[in-house]
Amino acid sequence: MKVVIIGAGVAGLAIGWKLALGGAKVVVLERAQVGNGATLVSGGMLAAAAELGSAGSPEADFARRANALWPEFAAALEAQSGIAIGYRRNGALLLRMAGEAPRAEEPLSGDHSPLTAEAARALEPLLGEDLADAVFAPGEAQVDSQALCRALAVCFVQAGGEVRATETAVRFELTGGRMTGVTTPFTTHRADIFIMAAGAWSARIEGLPPEAVPKIVPVKGEIIVLSPPAGVSVPMHVVWGNGVYIVPRRQRVLVGATMELAGFDTSLTKTALTWLRRQAEGLMPALKDWRLSEHWAGLRPAAPDGLPILGQSSVDGLFVASGQYRNGILFAPAVADVLSRLVLERIAVDPAFDPRRFEGTTSALIVPQTPHKEGGNGAWSAAS
Ligand SMILES: Cc1cc2nc3c(=O)[nH]c(=O)nc-3n(C[C@H](O)[C@H](O)[C@H](O)COP(=O)(O)OP(=O)(O)OC[C@H]3O[C@@H](n4cnc5c(N)ncnc54)[C@H](O)[C@@H]3O)c2cc1C
């Protein structure tokens, strides 16, 4: 079976690797370089609890399934690529700041423990005084998403896959209603199966009937990287609070992230930088002495209902793996698992994620935006 995947982000590469291991002949088309999209700038948190809580929902179930797959996925990637991907299950602290309303009480999941402010500070001495209490979620993990993509590309190629970088998929070709090719500036690729894994750009390739165009909207996120003064250690855990998260990665911390509907704009803004720094310093006052070493922006792929879009499209031969929104790194092993089973074994994906669920609807995307812009109020905004 020949498969063409569009997009060499975490989704396209993870699916490609699984399919190649399963015996398919796989080509990944990438308009720029491997891991060039949202994956490049991601916080790399595997934050099933912080993002989706302990309630039962198709997405939370999918997140837990992905979380369970991660240890084996990470070990196989590191062993086969020889690249350390920084996978660590150190847990996360979910903080409530002084003056904030008590958490809307969803029961704590079994392994989560409530902590006093003092106990939280004992775990993370950089935390400031302005803290009411915290929850420790020990199952939360993290990975270096840039190293992850490099490792995935190596494993994919070792398994027989081919990455064609700087080759943009421009137009799909249909014959008798079935997907038969995708045209790039260089050639037309023919295959049995095509998988759209082009992240926030998944709706931009020409040639599809309107009902088959994935309903994906880009949600911009800016994130900054801070380096400590000499002799100062980075935190041990991922920390959430004050509207931001702080992620230790190697000898630095990532502070993220803004949320904004800004089309395909990925410019870096002073307002986001100032807001991220201010919120992070509210959590850990000592960060005011840390040096800004990088500032990134990227586009999360979001569906109107905020759920992933995974599975068969309304065009025969075209599958979609998009809409991972804020959790595409966490979801990666599960996305690879369900898409490869669907393609190789015809095992159905959860209907909640079916790409065809929006047909005939005009639903708008509802996105909570961060109040990082002057005058912004963090309200929810809708985009059609
Ligand atoms: C600031 C920020 C922080 C985040 N933090 C986290 C986090 O901590 N944990 C988490 O789980 N998720 C996080 N996310 C979300 C996560 O990064 C995304 O959900 C995930 O990376 C999506 O992966 P993808 O492979 O679908 O898309 P991308 O990584 O965007 O990859 C899509 C690829 O397709 C390519 N492409 C596009 N169009 C074409 C075309 N026509 N032809 C060929 N190639 C094309 C692009 O160049 C790109 O390389 C974050 C996102 C942002 C922006």
- Ligand 1 center from residue 199 Cα (angstroms): 5
Q: Which domain holds residue 229?
A: 92-139+218-302
Can you give the CATH number for the domain in which 180 is found?
3.50.50.60
The protein residue whose alpha carbon is closest to atom 18 in ligand 1 is: 328
Residue 88 clears pLDDT 50, i.e. is over it: yes
Whether the CB-CB separation of 97 and 241 falls below 8 Å is answered with yes
Give the N- to C-terminal CA distance of the chain in Å, as an integer: 37
The answer to whether residues 319 and 173 belong to one domain is yes
The answer to whether residues 10 and 53 belong to one domain is yes
**More confident call, 50 vs 148:** 148
Q: What is the pLDDT of residue 384?
A: 47
The answer to whether residues 100 and 112 belong to one domain is yes
Strands 193-196 and 141-142, by their bridges, are: unpaired
The answer to whether residues 153 and 209 belong to one domain is yes
Tell me, yes or no, whether 380 lies in a domain. no
Which of 252, 277, 302 marks a domain boundary? Answer: 302
The answer to whether residues 227 and 131 belong to one domain is yes
Q: What is the mean pLDDT of residues 257-280?
A: 97
The answer to whether residues 70 and 153 belong to one domain is yes
Q: What is the pLDDT of residue 286?
A: 97
Whether the CB-CB separation of 16 and 156 falls below 8 Å is answered with yes
| CA atoms lying within 13 Å on the CB side of residue 331 | 30
The answer to whether residues 183 and 322 belong to one domain is yes
The answer to whether residues 296 and 158 belong to one domain is no
Q: What is the pLDDT of residue 52?
A: 78
How is 251-317 classified by DSSP, letter by letter? Answer: TEEEEE---B--TT-----HHHHHHHHHHHHHH-GGGGGSEEEEEEEEEEEE-TTSS-EEEE-SSBT
What CA–CA distance (Å, rounded) separates 298 from 272? 13
How is 145-205 classified by DSSP, letter by letter? Answer: HHHHHHHHHHHHHHTT-EEETT----EEEEETTEEEEEE-SS-EEE-SEEEE--GGGTT--
Lowest-pLDDT range of 106-115, 124-133, 186-195, 267-276? 106-115
Tell me, yes or no, whether 341 lies in a domain. yes
Residue-averaged pLDDT of the chain: 93
Strands 238-241 and 92-97, by their bridges, are: parallel
| CA atoms lying within 13 Å on the CB side of residue 80 | 19
Tell me, yes or no, whether 6 lies in a domain. yes
Alpha-carbon distances, residue 219 vs 10, 283, 298 (angstroms) = 17, 25, 8
Residue 288 clears pLDDT 60, i.e. is over it: yes
Residue 54 clears pLDDT 90, i.e. is over it: no
Burial state string for 285-311 with b = 16 or more CB within 10 A and e = fewer than 16: eebeebeeeebbbbbbbbbbbebbbbb
- Under DSSP, the state recorded for 349 is P
Q: How confident is the model at residue 369 (pLDDT cuts 50, 70, 90)?
A: confident
How is 8-68 classified by DSSP, letter by letter? Answer: -SHHHHHHHHHHHHTT-EEEEE-SSSTT-SHHHH---EE-HHHHH-SS--HHHHHHHHHHH
Q: What is the mean pLDDT of residues 145-162?
A: 98
Can you give the CATH number for the domain in which 234 is found?
3.30.9.10
Q: What is the pLDDT of residue 53?
A: 73
Pocket test for ligand 1, best of 13, 186, 201, 216 (most atoms within 8 A of CB): 201
Q: What is the mean pLDDT of residues 160-188?
A: 97
The answer to whether residues 235 and 281 belong to one domain is yes
Q: What is the mean pLDDT of residues 309-322?
A: 98
Q: What is the pLDDT of residue 363?
A: 72
Q: What is the pLDDT of residue 374?
A: 60
Q: What is the pLDDT of residue 67?
A: 94
Tell me, yes or no, whether 164 lies in a domain. yes
Residues 66-78 pLDDT 10s: 999 999 999 999 9
Tell me, yes or no, whether 47 lies in a domain. yes
Residue 94 clears pLDDT 50, i.e. is over it: yes
Lowest-pLDDT range of 3-7, 109-113, 187-191, 335-339? 109-113
The answer to whether residues 120 and 225 belong to one domain is yes
Tell me, yes or no, whether 81 lies in a domain. yes
Predicted structure pTM score: 0.96
Pocket test for ligand 1, best of 143, 324, 339, 367 (most atoms within 8 A of CB): 324
Q: What is the pLDDT of residue 365?
A: 75
**Ligand 1 pocket check for 28: Cβ under 6 Å:** no
What CA–CA distance (Å, rounded) separates 8 from 244? 28
What CA–CA distance (Å, rounded) separates 3 from 23? 11
Q: How confident is the model at residue 377 (pLDDT cuts 50, 70, 90)?
A: very low
Tell me, yes or no, whether 106 lies in a domain. yes
Q: How confident is the model at residue 103 (pLDDT cuts 50, 70, 90)?
A: confident
**Ligand 1 pocket check for 37: Cβ under 6 Å:** yes
How many domains in the chain? 2
Q: How confident is the model at residue 381 (pLDDT cuts 50, 70, 90)?
A: low
Q: What is the pLDDT of residue 305?
A: 93
Tell me, yes or no, whether 17 lies in a domain. yes
The answer to whether residues 257 and 168 belong to one domain is no
The answer to whether residues 198 and 274 belong to one domain is no
